[in-house]
Structure 1
């Protein structure tokens, strides 16, 4: 099979290939210092560590960092349930920041798909420290699109 005739992968298989280093990792992951670490059908986990470069004018982690890692894990949870030839993009997401993440603290962001249908997918997520402390929660709605 040539590169141009390769059979499309399901979302779950695409994410598994990414984890194995055989697929494209999201460029934003490198930029914002987080990465996918676990993939199951409907559940995707990222880890990340906010750096000083990601702070707002008062010196705390910018809300956009929380949003980026939550958007990534939640949308990928939706993607993990999609069949081959189907894509997605975020329609909207919401973040609830519960407490500031101390700079240099590694956190885990886990997204869980709640519903994935023909036209939309809905997921929730949370950011926790290694001690289990909850830093933020989120929710998302993604549009499901045919790539055929």
Structure 2
């Protein structure tokens, strides 16, 4: 498992629909994690990347920096939401069969405490259900060195058979 970060720099570098549908969701996520497929630029922009991918579970590791702060100088809630949406929805993706895709329908975030700038965290997404048309997952953000729980979340995704 290489963990090479290959981030798309243009729309042409992102996997096209044919490449996406040719893989199961688990294979797709493993290929992004391993750098065989380009990852979305949002990861580079927000400072996180998938570090663990297995069926029904993903972990994104990230570190919020100054560029992610709000006017009060604390990590913006959108950073919590973005990393949680990513880990939870991608946990659902690991259960999506070849020939299908998914997208987030809704997600909820509960911020429990501020993440100090520069603190490395893991956002852990766990798929609770992936059926023919919907997927449900939970997530949490925990500090890597302190183990503190910073936020929790939940999501509902739609799963769509494309071929």
Pick from 31, 40, 49 the counterpart of residue 35 of structure 1. Answer: 49
Matched, 1:133 2:148: yes
Question: What is residue 73 of structure 1 aligned with on the other side?
Answer: 87
Task: Show the counterpart of 2:40.
Answer: 26
**2:76 is matched with which residue: 37, 62, 72?**
62
1:12 to 26, 39, 42: 26
TM-score, normalisation: structure 1: 0.94
Q: What secondary structure sits across from 2:136 in the alignment?
A: strand
Q: Which runs of 4+ in 1 moved over 4 A?
A: 4-7
Alignment check: 8 A CA contact 2:88 2:127 kept: yes
Structure 1 residues 19 and 146 mapped into 2: Cα distance closer, same or farther (>3 Å)?
Answer: same
RMSD of the TM alignment (CA)?
1.5
Match of 2:132 among 113, 118, 122: 118
Q: CA deviation at 1:147?
A: 2.2
Extract unaligned runs of 5+ from structure 2. 1-17
- What's the secondary structure of 1:91's corresponding residue? strand
Aligned residue pair count: 145
Aligned match of 2:59: 45
Question: Per the alignment, do residues 41 and 91 of structure 1 end up closer, same or farther by CA in structure 2, a change over 3 Å counting?
Answer: same
Query: Where does the alignment leave 5 or more consecutive residues of structure 1 unmatched?
Result: none
